[in-house]
């Protein structure tokens, strides 16, 4: 089985209640979580993840000029559009046979590092921590809040808060100190992004072959000055998160089971090394392992592979519970990769998207999301990998591979050490993220501030190397290329919330097939043809409920913490109903506004 094993408990006669949250969104309302909760045994017994939106990018990309792919696909998302542009450019560079100049690679890396810092900060501190803030804990677990008020914060000398409750209060929306400071940090990191990529979130200076950013010294010094302004905030964030998450384990014994699933993590790698990368498929294993975030697939704590060629060939797009026609009887676009390896018909290079709208049926078809899987040749399993919200998989893969060894970041084989310089008030600090015991809600959330620190540390290296090139007069940032009549390409990158791939087929100098796979299809996938649930479903289904409220005033905070730990999208609107469609609440404004008290 690829799913999490059932957790044995002493069972009481079940008290089942249907409860659903739809939509759970960031920008658009297309994610729904449908559950059956056993209140007698305090457990979620069934979960289905649904998407009510069909985008169709793989359909209307056909026939376009491939050079437009980066600009078009950035519109897939209003949050991580730059990740799509970057990944598309990687795929195009493989197809065109072009390698950007080294300075251009550093500029892209600096832009992506700023994006990780921006997005993870605003999501963690302004969205995730609403579920852990004083107002929410008071409404769902008043006993826990009372204990938090009596519990000293172990790392108070770093972040400045005396008790755990003080930290929780600092995350109250609109009025908490950290909540407001995080918004300011997000503004600064967004400015850093725009210095490198021109416009947020749809870049105006990223192209296949290089960048249009003018590499003037002031561009890099302006970036660096902003980076140094947020260094201490990053150190404090790690300390605050560790204090709160350690407290939850202590205050609620068994909370490690919330959102826990089998360790099935995927990372496609990030931050190219300009000295190694050439975008040739034939050398993809070499330059993939040289990335400053190491790609990898982790199964039950074991690193199965960090070879991007193997990762690519194992991709399978399954159907099962999705609203689409199958394409396996069509003619393949690609039969073999450039190394001569056979390419499966369910690989993204060969996918054809034919939507079939129909009524939602949880016993049959119920989502517009397909079911990406990775085929494990050792066992024959189609693994429902998840991204751990992005940072968990990135850190876990990098730690196990032990390949990253830079002045600021070092992978040890069991951890990742991150060194940050002295800031305005805190001294030079070395943080260490250690491989956790579980892949669960808390560890997904805990990894996020550590990866903000990781991105900040790598940005220091990139800025030093870029400024060294400018001082040496190495200012070339673009390489010319020709679009071939026929070609294939693939790009692998990490969107903020996890794995991102773009697969491109060119015929007659036009796009013949194009398939982007961001992290949410992996995490939000429904049950596939084998009946294997997707990661949201698997993580929620079977998890215990610790909320003190009963069915009549149940908020579902443990379920929401689990879904949001994957960084699915902004929960700007949540509609909840019970039983036969009875609406309990409809929220059109953020939870817990300034007048929550």
For strands 371-376 and 510-517, give the pairing.
Answer: unpaired
Please tell me the distance from the alpha carbon of residue 108 to that of residue 105, in angstroms, as a whole number.
5
475-489 mean pLDDT: 98
Categorize the per-residue pLDDT at 581 as very low, low, confident or very high, splitting at 50, 70 and 90: low
Categorize the per-residue pLDDT at 596 as very low, low, confident or very high, splitting at 50, 70 and 90: low
- Separation of CA 412 from chain center: 23
Per-residue confidence (pLDDT) for residue 23, from 0 to 100: 79
Question: Which residues contribute to the annotated binding site for Fe cation?
Answer: 80, 572
Per-residue confidence (pLDDT) for residue 60, from 0 to 100: 85
Categorize the per-residue pLDDT at 582 as very low, low, confident or very high, splitting at 50, 70 and 90: low
pLDDT digits (tens, 9 = 90+) for 191-222: 999 999 999 989 999 999 999 999 999 999 99
Per-residue confidence (pLDDT) for residue 28, from 0 to 100: 56
Q: Note the residue count of the chain.
A: 597
Per-residue confidence (pLDDT) for residue 51, from 0 to 100: 87
pLDDT digits (tens, 9 = 90+) for 306-351: 999 999 999 999 999 999 999 999 999 999 999 999 999 999 999 9
Question: Which residues contribute to the annotated binding site?
Answer: 77, 80, 569, 572, 575
Q: Which residue has the tokens 């940050």?
A: 420
Per-residue confidence (pLDDT) for residue 577, from 0 to 100: 46
Tokens of 98: 């072009």
Per-residue confidence (pLDDT) for residue 585, from 0 to 100: 52
Return contacts of 219-227, CB within 8 angstroms, 24+ apart.
219/195, 220/463, 220/466, 220/467, 220/470, 221/467, 222/195, 223/110, 223/114, 223/192, 223/195, 223/196, 223/459, 223/463, 224/463, 226/188, 226/189, 226/191, 226/192, 227/192, 227/456, 227/459, 227/460, 227/463
Residue 579 has pLDDT above 80, yes or no: no
Per-residue confidence (pLDDT) for residue 570, from 0 to 100: 36
Please tell me the distance from the alpha carbon of residue 500 to that of residue 270, in angstroms, as a whole number.
10
Per-residue confidence (pLDDT) for residue 53, from 0 to 100: 77
Neighbouring CB atoms inside 10 A of 342's CB total 12
pLDDT digits (tens, 9 = 90+) for 49-100: 998 877 788 888 999 999 999 999 998 887 889 999 999 999 999 999 999 9
Per-residue confidence (pLDDT) for residue 1, from 0 to 100: 39
pTM for the model stands at 0.94
What is the DSSP secondary structure assignment for residue 426, as one 8-state letter? S
3 state DSSP class of 590 = coil
Question: Which residues contribute to the annotated binding site for Ni(2+)?
Answer: 77, 80, 569
Categorize the per-residue pLDDT at 9 as very low, low, confident or very high, splitting at 50, 70 and 90: low
Mean pLDDT estimate for the chain = 93
Residue 25 has pLDDT above 90, yes or no: no
Per-residue confidence (pLDDT) for residue 303, from 0 to 100: 98
What is the DSSP secondary structure assignment for residue 130, as one 8-state letter? G
3 state DSSP class of 456 = helix
Tokens of 214: 């003018």
- The CATH classification number of 16-566 equals 1.10.645.10
Contact 29, 23 (CB under 8 A): yes
516 Cβ neighbours under 8 A, 6+ residues apart: 57, 58, 73, 76, 84, 87, 88, 500, 501, 502, 503
| Beta strand extents in 453-595 (DSSP E only) | 486-495, 498-507, 510-517, 574-578, 582-587
Residue 588 has pLDDT above 90, yes or no: no
Tokens of 143: 């006993």
Tokens of 492: 């692998």
319 Cβ neighbours under 8 A, 6+ residues apart: 326, 370, 371, 528, 529
Per-residue confidence (pLDDT) for residue 11, from 0 to 100: 84
pLDDT digits (tens, 9 = 90+) for 117-176: 999 999 999 999 999 999 999 999 999 999 999 999 999 999 999 999 999 999 999 999
Q: What residues form DSSP beta bridges with 51?
A: 31
Contact 401, 296 (CB under 8 A): yes
pLDDT digits (tens, 9 = 90+) for 504-557: 999 999 999 999 999 989 999 999 999 999 999 999 999 999 999 999 999 999
**Percentage of the residues of the chain whose pLDDT score is greater than 90:** 88
pLDDT digits (tens, 9 = 90+) for 350-369: 999 999 999 999 999 999 99
Contact 121, 502 (CB under 8 A): no
pLDDT digits (tens, 9 = 90+) for 374-426: 999 999 999 999 999 999 999 999 999 999 999 999 999 999 999 999 999 99
Question: Which residues contribute to the annotated binding site for Mg(2+)?
Answer: 575
């Amino acid at each position: 089985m690829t799913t999490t094993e059932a957790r044995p408990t002493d069972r009481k006669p079940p008290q089942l209640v249907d409860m659903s949250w739809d939509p759970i969104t960031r920008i658009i309302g297309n994610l729904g979580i449908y559950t059956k909760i056993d209140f007698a045994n305090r457990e979620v017994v069934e979960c289905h993840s649904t998407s009510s939106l069909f985008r169709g990018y793989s359909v209307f990309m056909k026939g376009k000029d491939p050079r437009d792919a980066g600009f078009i696909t950035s519109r897939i998302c209003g949050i991580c559009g730059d990740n799509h542009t970057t990944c598309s450019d990687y795929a195009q560079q493989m197809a065109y046979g072009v390698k950007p100049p080294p300075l251009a690679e550093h500029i892209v890396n600096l832009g992506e590092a700023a994006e990780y810092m921006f997005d993870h900060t605003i999501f963690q501190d302004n969205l995730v921590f609403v579920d852990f803030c004083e107002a929410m804990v008071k409404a769902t677990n008043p006993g826990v809040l009372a204990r938090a008020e009596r519990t000293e914060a172990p790392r108070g000398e770093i972040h400045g808060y005396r008790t755990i409750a003080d930290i929780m209060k600092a995350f109250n929306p609109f009025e908490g100190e950290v909540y407001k400071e995080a918004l300011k940090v997000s503004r600064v990191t967004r400015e850093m992004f725009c210095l490198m990529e021109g416009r947020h979130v749809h870049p105006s200076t990223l192209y296949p072959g290089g960048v249009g950013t003018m590499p003037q010294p002031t561009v890099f010094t302006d970036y660096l000055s902003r980076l140094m302004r947020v260094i201490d905030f990053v150190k404090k964030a790690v300390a605050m998160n560790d204090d709160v998450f350690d407290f939850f384990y202590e205050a609620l014994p068994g909370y490690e089971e919330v959102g826990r699933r089998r360790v099935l993590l995927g990372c496609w790698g990030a931050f190219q090394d300009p000295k190694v990368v050439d975008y040739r498929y034939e050398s993809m294993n070499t330059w993939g392992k040289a990335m400053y975030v190491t790609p990898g697939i982790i199964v039950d704590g074991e690193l199965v592979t960090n070879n991007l060629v193997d990762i690519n060939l194992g991709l399978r797009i399954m159907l099962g519970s999705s609203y689409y026609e199958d394409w396996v009887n069509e003619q393949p676009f690609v039969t073999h990769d450039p190394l001569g390896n056979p390419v499966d018909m369910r690989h993204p290079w060969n996918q054809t998207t034919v939507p079939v709208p129909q009524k939602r049926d949880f016993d049959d078809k119920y989502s517009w999301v397909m079911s990406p899987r990775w085929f494990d040749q050792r066992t024959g399993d189609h693994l429902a990998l998840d991204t751990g919200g992005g940072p968990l998989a990135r850190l876990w893969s990098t730690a196990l591979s032990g390949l990253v060894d830079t002045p600021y970041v070092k992978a040890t084989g069991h951890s990742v050490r991150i060194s940050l310089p002295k800031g305005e008030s805190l001294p030079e600090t070395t943080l260490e993220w250690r491989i956790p015991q579980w892949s669960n809600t808390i560890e997904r959330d805990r990894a996020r501030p550590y990866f903000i620190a990781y991105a900040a540390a790598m940005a220091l290296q990139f800025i030093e190397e870029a400024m060294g090139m400018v001082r040496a007069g190495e200012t070339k940032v673009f390489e010319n290329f020709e679009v071939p009549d026929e070609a294939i390409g693939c790009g692998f990158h990490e969107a903020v919330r996890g794995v991102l791939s773009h697969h491109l087929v060119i015929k007659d100098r036009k796009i013949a097939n194009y398939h982007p796979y961001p992290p949410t299809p992996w995490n939000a996938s429904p049950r596939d043809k084998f009946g294997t649930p997707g990661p949201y479903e698997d993580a929620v289904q079977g998890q215990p409920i610790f909320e003190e409220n009963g069915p009549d005033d149940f908020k579902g905070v443990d379920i929401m913490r689990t879904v949001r730990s994957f960084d699915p999208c902004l929960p700007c609107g949540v509609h909840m109903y019970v039983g036969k469609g009875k609406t309990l609440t409809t929220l059109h404004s953020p939870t817990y506004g300034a007048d929550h008290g």
